[in-house]
Amino acid sequence: MKRRILLVDDDLAVLLTLKAVLELHGFEVETAATTAQAFARLESATYHMVISDLRMETEQAGMEVIRAARRQSYDPATALLTAYPPSSVQIDGEHGTDGQPDSMLVKPLGTNDLVRQIEALLIRHADRQQLRQRSSVPPTQLRRRSTG
Which domain CATH number covers 73?
3.40.50.2300
Q: How far is CA 107 from the centre of its chain?
A: 15
Task: Provide the residue count of the chain.
Answer: 148
Phi first, then psi, for residue 97 (nearest 5°) are: -90, 115
Tell me what pLDDT residue 97 has. Answer: 46
Domain count, the chain: 1
DSSP 18-59: HHHHHHHTT-EEEEESSHHHHHHHHHHS--SEEEEES-SSST
Partnered with residue 8 across adjacent β-strands are 32, 52
Backbone angles phi, psi at 140, to 5 degrees: -65, -35
Query: Which pLDDT belongs to residue 45?
Result: 95
pLDDT tens-digit series, residues 36-66? 999 999 999 999 999 999 989 888 899 999 9
Which parts of the chain have pLDDT scores under 50? 92-97, 144-148
Q: 42 lies in which domain range?
A: 4-145
120 conformational bin, left if phi > 0, alpha if psi -120 to 50, beta if neither: alpha
Cβ atoms of 48 and 2 within 8 Å: the answer is no
Separation CA 97–CA 99 (nearest Å): 6
Task: Round to whole Å and give the CA distance between 10 and 131.
Answer: 35
User: Residue 100: what pLDDT?
Assistant: 79
Which pLDDT belongs to residue 67? 94
Separation CA 80–CA 121 (nearest Å): 12
